[in-house]
Structure 1
Amino acid sequence: MWIAVVSLVVWLWLLLGQGFFWRTDQRLPPRAELAEWPDVAVVVPARDEAAVLPLSLPSLLAQDYPGRAEIFLVDDSSADGTGELARRLAEEHGGLPLTVVAPGEPEAGWTGKLWALRQGMALARARDPEYLLLTDADIAHRPDSLRELVASARGGGFDLVSQMARLRVASGWERLIVPAFVYFFAQLYPFRWINARRPRATAAAGGCVLLRTEAARRAGIPDAVRQAVIDDVSVARAVRRSGGRVWLGLADRVDSVRPYPGLGDLWRMVSRSAYAQLRHNPLVLLGTVAGLALVYLAPPVTFLAGLSGGDARAAWAGALAWLVMTVTYLPMLRYYRQPLALAPTLPFTALLYLLMTVDSAVQHYRGRGAAWKGRTYARPEAAPEQR
């Protein structure tokens, strides 16, 4: 009974005291009407992305942007012809000018994506753009995406505007796990807290980051975060520490086209960086496992145990905690246009995330660490902003 009551109290606090993380109304801030549009350079790190590039790159080439914009795609030692495919797509579709570069393997002390970003940003800065759009190779943008991002950054006076791309939800496992992924992220980094005048949290979503070039220079990006596995949060923290303003919200015009059809694909997506999020600290891991068990697993377990054992108080407290949890998950399911009947299954999804997090720690201590596209960061040092 007491476990159920504590879980219920925690859920009531999460409902009202965690920045209303469960709401999905944090969209792009009000846009400014611009007389002159600033120059923008779009930097796309790409490693073995031939499968998704035909779905994403044409959307960047077709951006309806009133000012000057160009794309720099960094072919990060791909083995599938990513660079050549990008050039072919640019010839077929036209649109914004595209430059493809291949800088080779990263230097020691750099993660692959940040090394690629460094090369692309160096080329872009030679054009002296006011903004850099850092976007992943699996992200498709609506034609007005860049225009809306720039107008919102100018209108709100933000140095970094980031949108969490709407991830693909098509397979059964994607329906079960993907909306919960964004829900958990928002619980950890409540968007309202990030976007407040006096922020209480800082984060970004790496798939879509519009960054003022001067803010990047002032924050030392990307060199200051070169070892970060969770690079988006690290970039946002570096910008904020250097005095910049950060905004993060959900996307309406930005979508991920990368498929995660099976449980194994989603498992690898989560587990490759879950332990890094916990700063490779075993005590934090234990606390996280205990917290997930108390918050997400205890409500249904105590409810069923109370029913079977004749403990009405445990059953009622567990049921109420489960109900609050279910209600807070409904807005995210609506955002992803998924059946609301999935909401009560959140405890099962949380159990999967708990196991993924433990597996991430196991892989770390086996020396495999964060792995992506054939690269493994066995025991990466924490970037300065993660300490």
Structure 2
Amino acid sequence: MGQTAHVSAVAWTAAVSLAAWVWLLLGQGFFWRTDVRLPPRREPAVWPPVCVVVPARDEAAVLPASLPSLLAQDYPGRAEVFLIDDGSSDGTAEVARALARRHGGLPLTVDSPGGEPPAGWTGKLWAVRHGVGLARARAPEYLLLTDADIAHAPDSLRHLVAAARTGGFDLVSQMARLRVRSRWERLVVPAFVYFFAQLYPFRRVGRKGARTAAAAGGCVLLRAEAAERARVPETIRHAVIDDVALARAVKGGGGHIWLGLAERVDSVRPYPRLHDLWRMVSRSAYAQLRHNPLVLAGTVAGLALVYLVPPAALVAGAAGGDTAAAVLGGLAWLVMTGTYLPMLRYYRQPRWLAPLLPFTASLYLLMTVDSAVRHYRGLGAAWKGRTYARPDAVPDEG
């Protein structure tokens, strides 16, 4: 009798998980589709001036693979690049200047805000503030905020500006295609983008009147007037998840924003070991949950219900002779696998990785818990030699 009750509980839990997956499939902005790319665009008669701002801290190793792509932009209007060296110890500034001398192309200014960021500022946003200040002296219509590890195709800036002008967007952001070469990158990286899209469905981000707002910090084209209206980066100076905070500030100020997957914008930063990927996720995961233990508990329970229950119910049902549990768990796992396939195709990865999503989700669950543990131990978000013990949460969407 006890075994029957236990199996019935498993079947019931599997049914709830399947219902959650049906809702995710149909009611969460079709987050699993990967066809949200740069919208239709027309080239303007007169190309507006653009300034590119690149915050960089200890990026000498990746700059040779990224900075020349910015300098080589085939942009018909006036454009220049500002690389802001945020207290690097590896010769980042010298490498950038040497690359500019070797490759030529767009004008490059290398500068530094000097010293450590003031209290209440993250290092990246303090560098962005300095770069935006230098850029404003050139009176650009647009600012391209891009990370030092991002490589752009020669026509990237051209397409971004044309899309912003055609669609009337104040912010256009592309989720750069992250590197997937090592075994752990193949297992973890596509899921990272999949989970991000699930949390911030791209179609909803670009919809006027929708509360959902997000951007991908590696590639953000921002109208300079919208940045001033939203008072960024000052209003988001505490934010560890600065790209989402930026998008919310711009959208909250009445701006029209767009976010989608990139076709010719790539991250060149390697994450060869699980430790590297773990650190990337755990440094900001608890900040995403606004440092709220109740939200953390709900997130852990939700991840377990949605991603771990289906395979567990299938195995338990098959082993215990509970057909309902096995079927419901199998169906939920099948829907989950189907929604992950488009992201694997986008990343050119084999289909057999899709059924492994529950295992990957369990890693993300542990990374999130580790992020909370680090926060309460006073370690906070650590990155490039800096630790933000109690970073502010991202502002509410409302």
TM-score by length of 1: 0.99
Shift of 1:385: 5.2
Verify: 1:180 aligned to 2:227, yes or no.
no
| 2:61 partner letter | A
Output the CA distance in 2 between the equivalents of 1:386 and 1:98.
36
The residue that corresponds to 2:61 in the other structure is 51
Give secondary structure in 2 for the equivalent of 1:355: helix
| 1:321 partner letter | A
Verify: 1:253 aligned to 2:253, yes or no.
no
Alignment check: 8 A CA contact 1:333 1:339 kept: yes
Shift of 1:336: 0.1
The residue that corresponds to 1:89 in the other structure is 99
Superposed CA RMSD in Å reads: 0.9
Give secondary structure in 2 for the equivalent of 1:41: strand
Give secondary structure in 2 for the equivalent of 1:260: coil
Output the CA distance in 2 between the equivalents of 1:315 and 1:382.
40
Alignment check: 8 A CA contact 1:224 1:384 kept: no
Output the CA distance in 2 between the equivalents of 1:383 and 1:56.
29
Shift of 1:197: 3.1
Alignment check: 8 A CA contact 1:44 1:72 kept: yes
Alignment check: 8 A CA contact 2:244 2:394 kept: no
Alignment check: 8 A CA contact 1:279 1:382 kept: yes
The residue that corresponds to 2:73 in the other structure is 63
Verify: 1:272 aligned to 2:283, yes or no.
yes
Output the CA distance in 2 between the equivalents of 1:279 and 1:85.
37
Q: Deviations over 1:14-41 (max 9, x none)?
A: 0000000000000001112211000000
Shift of 1:384: 4.8
Report how many residues are paired.
Answer: 387
Shift of 1:108: 1.2
The residue that corresponds to 1:26 in the other structure is 36
Q: Deviations over 1:69-104 (max 9, x none)?
A: 000000000000000100000000000000000112
1:108 to 119, 134, 137: 119
Alignment check: 8 A CA contact 1:4 1:302 kept: yes
| 1:30 partner letter | P
- Structure 1 pair 106–386 and aligned structure 2 pair: CA distance change class (3 A): farther
The residue that corresponds to 2:217 in the other structure is 206
Alignment check: 8 A CA contact 2:241 2:394 kept: no
Shift of 1:200: 3.8
- Structure 1 pair 260–302 and aligned structure 2 pair: CA distance change class (3 A): same
| 2:198 partner letter | Q
| 2:20 partner letter | V
Output the CA distance in 2 between the equivalents of 1:383 and 1:148.
30
Matches within 5 A, 1:138-287: 138-287=149-298
Alignment check: 8 A CA contact 2:54 2:128 kept: yes
The residue that corresponds to 2:12 in the other structure is 2
Q: Deviations over 1:310-329 (max 9, x none)?
A: 00000000000000000000
Output the CA distance in 2 between the equivalents of 1:135 and 1:382.
22
Give secondary structure in 1 for the equivalent of 2:283: helix
Question: Any unmatched runs of 5+ in structure 2?
Answer: 1-10
| 2:331 partner letter | L
Alignment check: 8 A CA contact 2:238 2:391 kept: yes
Shift of 1:199: 2.0
TM-score by length of 2: 0.96
| 1:275 partner letter | Y
The residue that corresponds to 1:125 in the other structure is 136
| 1:231 partner letter | D
| 2:281 partner letter | V
Percent identity, aligned pairs only, is 77
Output the CA distance in 2 between the equivalents of 1:263 and 1:141.
26
1:334 to 328, 345, 355: 345
Verify: 1:72 aligned to 2:106, yes or no.
no
Verify: 1:136 aligned to 2:147, yes or no.
yes
Shift of 1:153: 0.2
| 1:77 partner letter | G
- Structure 1 pair 386–273 and aligned structure 2 pair: CA distance change class (3 A): farther
| 1:60 partner letter | L
Alignment check: 8 A CA contact 1:234 1:386 kept: no
Alignment check: 8 A CA contact 1:47 1:75 kept: yes
| 2:383 partner letter | W
Output the CA distance in 1 between the equivalents of 2:343 and 2:257.
23
Output the CA distance in 1 between the equivalents of 2:252 and 2:82.
27
| 1:202 partner letter | A
Output the CA distance in 1 between the equivalents of 2:165 and 2:278.
38
After alignment, is 188-197 or 62-71 more displaced?
Answer: 188-197
| 1:81 partner letter | G
Give secondary structure in 1 for the equivalent of 2:118: coil
| 1:59 partner letter | S
